[in-house]
Amino acid sequence: MIYKHDEIERFKHQLQESVVVCADRCLYNATKWSAELLDGVKEGTLDLSNQYGHQHTTTGYDASLPSVNELEYNKYQYAKALFHMRQYENASYILRGMENPKLKFLRLYAKYLAGEKRKEEQTQEILGSADNSLTENPELNSIYDELRTAYDENQTMDAFCLYLYGIILRKRGDNQLAASVLLQSLKKYECNWSAWMELGTLVLNKKMFYDLQKLLDAKMTGSLIKNLFLARLALELHLPHQFYSDIMTPLTAIFPDSTYIKAQWAISFYDTMDYNESEVLFDDLRRSNPYRLEDMDVFSNLLYLKDSKEKLSVLAHQCDRIDKFRPETCCIVANYYSIKREIPLSIEYFKRALKLNRNYHWVWTLLGHDYIEMKNANAAIECYRRATDYNPRDFRAWYGLGQAYEVLKLPYYATYYYQKATDLRPHDPRMWQALGGCYEALGRHNESLDCFRRVNECDKDGRHNALIQLARIFDKMERPNAAARYYLRAIEKYETEEYDGIEVAESGLRLGRYMFSKNRLGDAERYAKIALGYSFPYHDEAQTLLDEIKNKRISTFET
């Protein structure tokens, strides 16, 4: 796909307008996203004349709303100043009785955030006696009643009141109506990135994604922000990398210097376990803006997986110096202590991150991993459950729940959670291997075979020894011919890759025994000799088999 010049110009103008419109409504994340994207637009499309700023002081969206009188304007500016100081209740109070759409949204949004703040204050201790994951925002019902009345009576609601109503509906569990309302909001004003992110939380699986994509493609043809949203959602749902790349490559050409787009590419390679390419992109991102902390938590996790202690140490110290009270910084420092095996300190910093952002699902999952390390399976389960509550698409949390129940010797429960993980990551051999191991522990050999066949299909690097796992299962099922076929395939694979693990010796012995039972003594001797070079018990068993072959030959010759 190649975007035309007028499409690019239209999107640039939309972003420039959204910086003003979203900032006026104190939607800081949406404002920052638009501004960050604009900052990365290719220079050839920019108007570098000194008069440019004077031409863009008003917005088309605000011009479509009822005008603000002097009284409303003064109230709005006062409330906005209070909002900036996080005095949400005061801001909402100042705007009481104001029905202009712009003021109404700010009043209700400030009230919503006041409730969120009180909710967090009631549950400050992470996993402590006062920590209750069911605690609700005390302002939800009153905001819901006001917005529902307006919506049901077909009163005119602007895009931002619809956006807030969508949030409230999702919090109340009415996901279907929430999705409909959010789509109405985006139809009225499509460049509110926060509304797109809210809509994204309602898409829980691939079928829902493709249904939404079909709907959006029909109703929002040529929308660049829609494509940016679909690319991000495809990444979060772990769709094939090629799908993501097809959407993002043309957009990257428009915004080659965008730190947001660079970060998304880095995360996409991290998601596909191409860690080296991901690290290169994160390094480039750090060079282009060393003070940007967004997505550095993902980078820290990448460095942890690569066991890059020194590099993670440098990242942790730099982020701590920039802003030690950012949730991302606390997460990065926690990963630093985790890689040093100082797990109690790691847990403390993960909890600090959660105190700053209770919805930080990534950290709930990592905290669960730490509790697994500490052999505290019950605490780990609670953490993983919180992670799936905040983001049911987090396959790592579902996988962690499976691991925790395996630690508790409850493989039947573990299979349920591993199945959830495979649904989200059907091309990840680790998920299928874990599920196959559980089925094997339960004696459900046919299901286990299916899983390890999937491991073999997905395992491009051959790191999971699926062939020998399949052979072992056929052995347990007393199907020696099928087992021998897989042992033979394993031997051929190991010879090709020059692999030298004990699986080679096991395959050799098993094949040797099988050939011996078929009276193919030459083949039996050849495979038995493969295991001779290995330590106990393989060397001894191989020698025993060779002696049996020798004796059988003598016996046959004498006969």
In the DSSP assignment, the letter for residue 54 is G
Q: Please tell me the predicted confidence (pLDDT) of residue 59.
A: 66
Say how many CA atoms lie within 13 Å of 302 toward its Cβ. Answer: 25
pLDDT at 30 over 90: yes
pLDDT of 369 over the 80 cut: yes
Range of lowest pLDDT (86-95, 125-134, 382-391, 434-443)? 125-134
Please state, in angstroms and rounded to a whole number, the distance separating the CA atoms of residues 558 and 158: 99
- For the chain, list the domains and their CATH numbers: 414-558 (1.25.40.10)
Closest CA to 528 of 550, 551, 505: 505
Measured from the Cβ of residue 210, the count of other Cβ atoms closer than 10 Å reads 12
Tens of pLDDT along 457-498?
988 776 778 898 999 999 999 999 999 999 998 888 877 777
Average pLDDT (118-144) is 79
pLDDT of res. 550? 87
Ordered DSSP codes for 64-112: TSPPP-HHHHHHHHHHHHHHHTT-HHHHHHHTTT--SHHHHHHHHHHHH
Residue with tokens 């339960």: 442
Mean pLDDT for 379-397 is 95
Q: Which amino acid is at 334?
A: A
Query: Measuring CA to CA, which residue among 456, 409, 391 is closest to residue 429?
Result: 456
In whole angstroms, what is the distance from residue 281 CA to residue 18 CA?
A: 28
User: Using H for helix, E for strand and C for coil, what is the string for 414-450?
Assistant: HHHHHHHHHHHCCCCHHHHHHHHHHHHHCCCHHHHHH
- What pLDDT does 4 receive? 83
Looking up tokens 């209070």 gives: 82
**Other Cβ atoms closer than 10 A to 216:** 18
Asked whether the predicted pLDDT for residue 116 surpasses 60, the reply is: yes
323-328 average pLDDT score? 95
Position 403 scores a pLDDT of 94
Query: What mean pLDDT value characterizes the chain?
Result: 91
Question: Among 246, 243, 187, which Cα is nearest to 219's?
Answer: 187
pLDDT of residue 496: 74
Q: What pLDDT, on a 0 to 100 scale, did the predictor assign at position 389?
A: 93
Which of the four pLDDT bands, split at 50, 70 and 90, describes residue 396?
very high
User: What element of type H or E holds 518?
Assistant: none
How many degrees, rounded to 5, is the angle at CA 297 between CA 21 and CA 126?
90
How far apart CA 126 and CA 129 sit, in angstroms, is 9
What does the pLDDT average to over 251-276? 94
Mean pLDDT over residues 384-388, rounded?
Answer: 95
pLDDT of 265 above 80: yes
User: Residues 519, 548: contact at Cβ < 8 Å?
Assistant: no
Q: What integer is the mean pLDDT of 235-259?
A: 93
133: pLDDT strictly greater than 80: no
Return d(Cα 64, Cα 102) in angstroms, integer. 11
Residue 535's pLDDT is 82
Question: Does residue 89 surpass a pLDDT of 80?
Answer: yes
Above pLDDT 90, what percent of the chain?
73
Asked whether the predicted pLDDT for residue 433 surpasses 60, the reply is yes
Which pLDDT value is given to residue 31? 95
132 vs 116: CA distance, rounded Å = 14
Q: Are residues 484 and 452 in contact, defined by beta-carbon separation less than 8 angstroms?
A: no
Of the candidates 138, 131, 103, 132, the residue with the CA atom closest to the CA atom of residue 117: 138
The H or E element that residue 141 is part of is helix 140-152
| Residue 481: per-residue pLDDT | 93
Poorest-pLDDT segment among 2-6, 56-60, 133-137, 288-292: 56-60
| C-alpha triplet 164, 168, 173: angle, nearest 5° | 145
Q: Is the pLDDT of residue 71 over 70?
A: yes
Whether residue 55 has pLDDT greater than 50: no
Confidence bin at 131 (pLDDT 50/70/90): low
Please give the Cα distance from 492 to 149 (Å, whole number).
71
Q: What is the DSSP letter of 137?
A: -
Residue with tokens 């016996």: 555
38-42, 278-282, 492-496: range with highest mean pLDDT: 278-282
Q: Which pLDDT score is estimated for 49?
A: 54
Instruction: Quickly state the pLDDT bin for 534 (edges 50, 70, 90).
Output: confident
pLDDT at 60: 81
**265, 281 Cβ separation under 8 angstroms:** yes
> Which carries the bigger pLDDT value, residue 42 or residue 25?
25
Query: Residue 46's pLDDT is what?
Result: 67
Q: Tell which residue, 251, 395, 226, has the closest CA to residue 265.
A: 251
Provide the pLDDT for residue 26.
95
Please report the pLDDT score of residue 124 as a whole number: 65
Place of tokens 């009284």: 71
Does residue 101 surpass a pLDDT of 50?
yes
Place of tokens 């199945």: 419
**163 within 8 A of 198, measured Cβ to Cβ:** yes
Average pLDDT over residues 111-139: 80
Contact 100, 23 (CB under 8 A): no
Contact 458, 450 (CB under 8 A): no
pLDDT tens for each residue of 418-428: 999 999 999 99
| Range 95-100, long-range pairs (CB < 8 A, 24+ positions) | 98/72, 100/65, 100/66, 100/68, 100/72
Instruction: Name the band, by pLDDT with cuts 50, 70 and 90, for residue 132.
Output: low
Instruction: State the average pLDDT over residues 330-337.
Output: 97
CA distance 64 to 292: 35
Instruction: Return the higher-pLDDT residue of 454 and 126.
Output: 454
